[in-house]
Every structure is written in C-alpha cells, then in structure tokens.
Amino acid sequence: MIRDVNRGFKQDGDRVFGGAGLKMMRLARLAADHDLTGLEFAIGIPGTVGGAVYQNAGCWGCEVKDVLAGAEGDGVHWQPADLGFGYRTSAFREGALHGHLIAGAWFQLRPGDGHASREQMATWTAERKQTQPVATKNCGSVFKNPSGDSAGRLVEAAGLKGAREGAALISTKHANFIENAGGATAADVRKLIERAREAVLKQFGVVLETEVEMVGREKPRS
C-alpha cells in the first residue's frame, strides 16, 4: 500500500493547498521547500490542516486566518470572509458552518528564501521543546489565553502545576498542558480542567475558556 504523506499537497504560484489530513508542520516544510514564506508559524501547530482551519489555530503571533486564501468541502469553496474567524474559533466550530466538513484549504504565501524559513522553524521548534511538554502524551493547549494574560501563567499561579486527577496531570513544564501519565481517561482530564477553571476563577476572577473540545461520551473507569 502506498501512503500519501503529503495528503493532497498542491502548489499554484504563490499559493499552496493542503488536504484536511495533512499535518500543518508538514505543510510548513513543503512550503519552504518551494521557497514560499508565511507558513513558518505552522511548525508550532501539531494538528492537521482541517483542524487548524476549524479552530483558526495559531502560534508565535500568527493565525491561520492571516494566510488562508480559501477552504473547500461539501463540494463548496468558501472565501475567508465566509469563515467567521475569531480567536481559536471559526464558523465551523461555532457558527453558520457548524457541521460542515472541511476537505482542504488554500494558503496565500510569498516568494522568499526557503533556507531562511527552515532556519526560523528550527529556532522556534527548539524554543517550543524548551517551554512545552512536546515529548509527552497531551492534547495541546487546554485553555484559550484571556485578553492580556496567559492561561498557563494563571493556572501555575493558582498552584496547580503538577496537580493530578487519576492518571492525568497538569504539566510541570507548562501549566496550560494536561499530560497523560498512563491510562488517563476523559473523565480524569475533564475533572482536571474543571479544577483548574474553578481555582483560577476563585483566585483571580478570570473565567478560562477551553481551547480543546470534549466529544462523544466518557468511558467510566473500571
């Protein structure tokens, strides 16, 4: 069986297309291979093109909406203006397009120095390894950053770095990550999320909104 590691990648001049299942990190590297710049920030997004569009993912001050030229799905091509982008959300997540499937997306980039792009991505990757628990099993950033502050800082200031519920624990490296220490259930993670939200609200009066979503039903611990 031949596996398509590039998941529908295409280039058209200064634009690139990635199928919904293509990893954003891979797309960033492919763009650099074609001497196109503007997607370097995507090296910090561990998810796929589809998920990144759905959530308007971002890193290092840039977001998907900044480079998106359009999205495709359900036999329709959507313009960026159709997608209701906000901070870590879109019309797919909460809006007129909720429930629609994303098949892929086009990104408008700029001609540039692919070597310089790869060097920038290497620098950011090294920084990320120093500050985030990238080698552990986790679901990425749990909470959205409140305006003018950092969710990780607030959770840490509430004294919850290293806190556990079952086999889930708040990372000691970055408090906006919940790690699976081995056998954690969705219920463990949910309890830890609620514990962090309650502590931050009580101590700082800030309501933390989740960046992650719970889907399906929790499996009870046997």
* C-alpha distance from residue 151 to each of 58, 139, 169, 175, 196 (Å): 15, 15, 16, 8, 10
How far from chain centre, in Å, is Cα 88?
8
Residues 6+ apart with CB under 8 A from 123: none
129, amino acid identity: K
Say yes or no to pLDDT of 110 above 80.
yes
pLDDT for res 109:
97
**Catalytic-labelled residue, pool 26, 29, 88, 93:** 88
pLDDT for res 84:
95
Which band of pLDDT confidence, cut at 50, 70 and 90, is reported for residue 214?
Answer: confident
Looking at domain 10-131, does it have CATH number 3.10.129.10? Answer: no
Span 73-105, pLDDT tens digits? 988 999 999 999 999 999 999 889 988 999 999
Architecture of domain 133-222: Alpha-Beta Complex (3.90)
**What are the φ and ψ backbone dihedral angles of 77, each rounded to 5 degrees?**
-110, 125
Which residue pairs from 182-190 have beta carbons closer than 8 angstroms and sit at least 24 positions apart in sequence? 185/218, 185/219, 185/220, 185/221, 186/214, 186/216, 186/218, 186/219, 187/218, 187/219, 187/220, 187/221, 188/221, 189/139, 189/165, 190/214, 190/218
How is the chain split into domains, by residue range? 10-131, 133-222
pLDDT for res 217:
60
**Catalytic-labelled residue, pool 90, 117, 141, 171:** 141
pLDDT for res 220:
47
Span 151-170, pLDDT tens digits? 999 999 999 999 999 999 99
Span 172-188, pLDDT tens digits? 999 999 999 999 999 99
pLDDT for res 4:
59
Quickly count helices (H) and strands (E) in the chain.
5, 12
**Catalytic-labelled residue, pool 40, 72, 165, 211:** 211
Total-model pTM: 0.82
pLDDT for res 221:
46
Per the annotation, the verdict on 141 as an active-site residue is yes
DSSP 17: E
